[in-house]
Amino acid sequence: MNLLIKSATIIDPSSPFHKQENDILIENGCIKKISKKIKNPNNLKEIKLDNLHISQGWFDTSVSFGEPGFEERETIKNGLETAAKSGFTKVAVNPNTYPVADNKSAIEFIKNKANNTATSLFPIGCLTKNAESKDLAELFDMQNSGAIAFGDYNNPIVNANLLKIALQYAQNFDALILSFPQDNSIAGYGLANEHINSTKLGLKGIPSLAEEMQVARDLFILEYTNGKLHIPTISTAKSVKLIKEAKNKGLNVSCSVAAHHLVLTDDELASFDGNTKVLPPLRTAKDVKALIKGINDGVIDMITSDHNPIDIEHKKVEYNNAKFGTIGMESLFGSLNKVIPLETLVTCLTTNPRNRFNIENSFINEGEKANITLFNPDFEYEFSLNNIYSTSKNSIFLNKKLNGKVYGIISNNKIVL
């Protein structure tokens, strides 16, 4: 692939060309030259776009596709095309398939479905067999087959001793353990954040305590084992405080937050729209403020879409019966672009998650592989069904004003615009 990108503002704090507007010459999938003006004597394909900005390719650390087992929600092929159009050159795919991805054959199946695609797929394997929190899955075998981390998506590790053993065992091959932050004995059959809105609307609540108890427990176990832990999609102010204290102690812990938890509050519940039913649930304005501060202070390491396609039969139903989850790749950038400083947002989508999940970095510099996301940070629009590429349409951001347009990606010697 040979092409010339014209007049692009580079957003990459690790690049010597950061914040500069340059032309970028790409030859055979690598960045050959970066300069103010590059001539095009060979009539290469040129990319000229309004207010073009580029960064390292974005990495989403929590994506669900469904295949195998739930192809009606999303196939791997369409999921990766959606990721590419949404600006993601790499995605980590959750194991919540049917059957769940808890063995090397399942990991190899998922990886083989993603051959020769612009967006690279990295499977996350189940931590426990059948995601039942009873016995450890085949972690070492799965890692040898391509799994980059281990966790039971949206299922907490109920057995504290099992988490302890996992953190100890995983040190033998430097594996990253994920633990979903919810104590089900407190959350029970809750549907939404336990607060004024859930009480007004008569919805059974999930207290913030359910998350914070689990985070505190996991951090105690982490301190005991000296392991390597990632806590996905935290949602409360107290969780940010607990993780900050753990990092100050020197514990090897990281965490992520879902885009919708940085923008929306439980005021959304008033519509009784099943698309607002997510896990963890939408919290209060105080929590949103604390999460944004956690991002800006570096306590929260990365931002994810927590993309979880759910078919209409399981979403357009009574709130009690709707499944948890929202799609989010298509709306992530537009929803956060004016909420989080652009440099910080890019870092939380590139360098930070790649370093934590041990994925190769490709910077915007001469001699590097072309692994690039192209976008316009000044483009306001209303997010509608026309903006959704996923098979499922369960977006929490439907009909909301977003600001920021993704043009596409250049990755794996391919271009998707």
Answer yes or no: are the C-beta atoms of 361 and 355 closer than 8 Å: yes
Task: Identify the H or E element spanning 333.
Answer: helix 332-336
Query: How many CB atoms lie under 10 A from the CB of residue 114?
Result: 20
Cα separation, 155 vs 207, whole angstroms: 17
Burial class (CB in 10 A: 0-12, 13-18, 19+), 223: middle
Give yes or no for a contact between 354 and 361, defined as CB atoms under 8 angstroms apart: yes
Distance CA 402, CA 78 (A): 23
Look at the block and give the residue holding tokens 């997010």: 383
Q: Are 60 and 307 in contact (CB under 8 A)?
A: yes
82: Cβ contacts below 8 Å, ≥ 6 apart: 74, 329, 330, 389, 390
Structure tokens at 261: 């938890």
CA dihedral 321→325→330→335, nearest 10 degrees, is 100
As a whole number of angstroms, the distance between CA 60 and CA 331 comes to 13
Integer CA distances (angstroms), 224 to 20, 150, 389, in order: 46, 20, 45
Is residue 263 within 8 Å of residue 403, measured between CB atoms? no
Backbone angles phi and psi of 361, in degrees to 5: -90, 140
Query: From CA 95, how far away is CA 87, in angstroms rounded?
Result: 22
160-170 helix and 208-225 helix, angle to the nearest 10 degrees: 40
What is residue 288's three-state secondary structure? helix
Which residues are annotated as catalytic? 306
